[in-house]
Amino acid sequence: MVSKELVIGALLIAVAVLGIALPLTYLSVTHKELRITSLGDLLRLSKIPVSILSSKELELIYSKYVNITKEGRLSIKCLNCVLVINNSLSNALSIKVFKSKSSLSSWLGVSEPKYEVRVGSDSVNVLVSNAVSVIELPTTSVHELSIEVANGVSKLLLSNINLNASLTLSNSVLKTDLRYLSKDGLRNQVSIHMSNSLAKLMIYCSDCRIKYLSRLANGLSRLYVDHEEVAKAVGSSTYVDKGFSESLRKLVISIEGSNSLAEVKVMRGGAD
């Protein structure tokens, strides 16, 4: 029979050895700037349940610009922005975009890169060209998504395949926050927060359960319950598709504040 002294002695030695081995492993592997060159690497390290569309360009981007830590932080760097995709929450992605043109340009060592990043067909697609002209995020797996843009995003496109919904914002979007809650449940919600200068808002939807909530920072001015009221408020019915189905009549759209709201467009999306 093994004595307790022997067991405790072995445990003490084991803890001491772990005290040396684990931190060194952590430093040498976990926080090292990892070069992601394959789908396997990304899946293993990022914990993002997606697949990568393989292409030479994509591999180049990942090998050069992607940094993933064990905590699930994925950063994609580009000329005009740094995208930090943090998937530390199991079903959530949060993306931050910060514009810093000159410093990042020199940091990357490239003058005018134009490239496209796709992280799986059903998760994150980021198309970044010169001035962050388009950021596209079609996803079925992302339940919560927040995007913070410093300035200068000329076009932001978000879509959800399951929801058949897409949103396009143009011009000077200062801050955008979108939340997809309970994808398969009865309550789906998209909320948009903008400081000012919203020039154009287009909402496409074919799912009556989706609630779009758009807020402008300058204060609540109107609340529109359905598409007819939206059309009336906009002052023209030309923007509203006459072919709304009965289910689409239940679409709830609320818009708060409209200092410089130029256009609201509600259209029928994919299949009814």
SS3 63: helix
Distance of CA 176 to the CA centre of its chain: 10
Residues contacting residue 84 through CB under 8 Å, at least 6 positions apart: 73, 74, 75, 95, 96
Least distance from other proteins to the Cβ atom of residue 212, Å: 32
- Bridge partners, residue 218, by sequence: none
Cβ contact 203:224 at 8 Å: no
- Identify which of residues 19 and 49 has a Cβ nearer to other proteins in the complex: 19
Least distance from other proteins to the Cβ atom of residue 270, Å: 37
List interacting residues with other proteins (CB under 8 A): 3-10, 12-13, 15-20, 22-24, 26-28, 31-33, 67, 69, 73, 75, 77, 82, 84, 107
- Identify which of residues 5 and 246 has a Cβ nearer to other proteins in the complex: 5
- Identify which of residues 13 and 220 has a Cβ nearer to other proteins in the complex: 13
- Identify which of residues 97 and 203 has a Cβ nearer to other proteins in the complex: 97
At 32, the amino acid letter reads: K
Least distance from other proteins to the Cβ atom of residue 81, Å: 13
Least distance from other proteins to the Cβ atom of residue 132, Å: 18
Of 257, 212, 211, nearest to 233 by C-alpha is 257
Q: Distance (Å, rounded) from C-alpha 159 to C-alpha 136?
A: 7
